Chains A and B, each alone.
Chain A
Amino acid sequence: GESVGLHLPTLSVQEGDNSIINCAYSNSASDYFIWYKQESGKGPQFIIDIRSNMDKRQGQRVTVLLNKTVKHLSLQIAATQPGDSAVYFCAESYSGGGADGLTFGKGTHLIIQP
């Protein structure tokens, strides 16, 4: 079946720099996307979501960009802090975000260098 994947398993950035985490999806019917953050030993934490009728959505220090033409999703974190170190997952859904429709990528491990 179709699935969501991530380009890089590990991303290392300097503290204070901006981070960009990428995600490719293959299901053109997907209409809802979520980014999660998972710290070691904890459950995933919702960061931000975006629907397919939008190209960009901003939160606090985070921005999600959606390019439906190339089926690409990215998470931008501004002024990366040590507390941003975690694994980041994207998830996609083709059923409008219903509980049955989320497919998760494998995750990108974001490492913050001092």
Chain B
Amino acid sequence: NAGVTQTPKFQVLKTGQSMTLQCAQDMNHEYMSWYRQDPGMGLRLIHYSVGAGITDQGEVPNGYNVSRSTTEDFPLRLLSAAPSQTSVYFCASSYEPGRPNYEQYFGPGTRLTVT
């Protein structure tokens, strides 16, 4: 298993540009989430999905869109990049919480800089 993969690893955007951060998992997990991590901060939830076709907003959803057309993929779209979106973005996946072997797996992250 590759686990949770994210592309790209690094990205520089100009203000106003759009882009999609890719996330894929091969563990057949129902739950997938996107977080952002700013320096000296914990992770903040952007959007999440509890299954294909179902998405919902987290703590900081503004400026981001998601879709979940398959169980494996959960792309995050930045509609019009702003310097405030400079951050490290992590994708995570897990089975339904409460299962005996519940564990949330994180990808390696995408480091985004918006100038």
Contact = CB atoms under 8 A, between A and B. Distances in A.
Interface string B71-115: 000000000000000000010101001100011111111000000
B103 A43 contact: no
Contacts of A93: 97
A99 B109 contact: no
Interface string A88-101: 01010100111110
Contacts of B109: 41-43
Interface of A is mostly: loop
B90 A44 contact: yes
A4 B43 CA distance: 11
B106 A43 contact: yes
Contacts of A14: none
Nearest to A93: B97
Contacts of B35: 104
A44 B102 CA distance: 15
Contacts of A100: 45, 48, 56, 58
Contacts of A46: 103-105
Interface of B is mostly: strand
A104 B44 contact: yes
B33 A99 contact: yes
Given A43-B90, A44-B90, A104 B43 contact: yes
Contacts of B31: 98-99
Contacts of A103: 42, 59
Interface in B29-68: 31-33, 35, 40-45, 48-50, 56, 58-59
A97 B98 contact: yes
B94 A89 contact: no
Contacts of A68: none
Contacts of A107: 40-42
A98 B90 contact: no
A89 B106 contact: no
6 contacts: A41-B109, A42-B108, A89-B42, A91-B42, A99-B48, A104-B35
